[in-house]
Amino acid sequence: MATYVELRSAANDANLLNMTDSALMIAALNLLKVPDPGPPVDDVKWAAAVLQNPRTHARQTLRFALADNKDIPLGDRDTPGTILGSTDDQIQAKVDIVVPHLVVAHNA
C-alpha cells in the first residue's frame, strides 16, 4: 500500500504523467468514436476540454487514478505490479476506469 506522501510523489513522476497523458487522449478519442447517434453531450464536453488542455487533465487524472489504486505499493520502474512499474496497458486500464467519474465531475 502506498502512503499518502508516496502517492503525492508519484503524481509528479514524469513517466507516469506522460503515460497518463497518452492514455487520456486515447480514452477521450474512444468516447468520441461512438456510432450514431453519437456520444452523449457530457462525453463530448469532457473530451473537448481534454483536447484543449491535455496536460492539466492528465495531472488531474493521474491523481484520481492514484487515489483509486492506493492499495498498490509504489515500488519502482523495475518492479511489475507496482505503481511506478505500471505498463502502458495497465495505465490505460486505470485511466479507463476513472474516466466516467471525471466526465461526471466535469459536467457537474
Query: What confidence tens digit (pLDDT) does each residue in 46-90 have?
Result: 999 999 999 999 999 999 999 999 999 988 888 888 999 999 999
pLDDT of residue 80: 85
pTM of the model: 0.90
Nearest to 85 by CA among 95, 97, 73: 73
Would the pLDDT of 93 be above 90? yes
Would the pLDDT of 42 be above 90? yes
Where do the domains of the chain lie? 4-106
User: In angstroms, how far is the first alpha carbon of the chain from the final one?
Assistant: 31
pLDDT of residue 24: 97
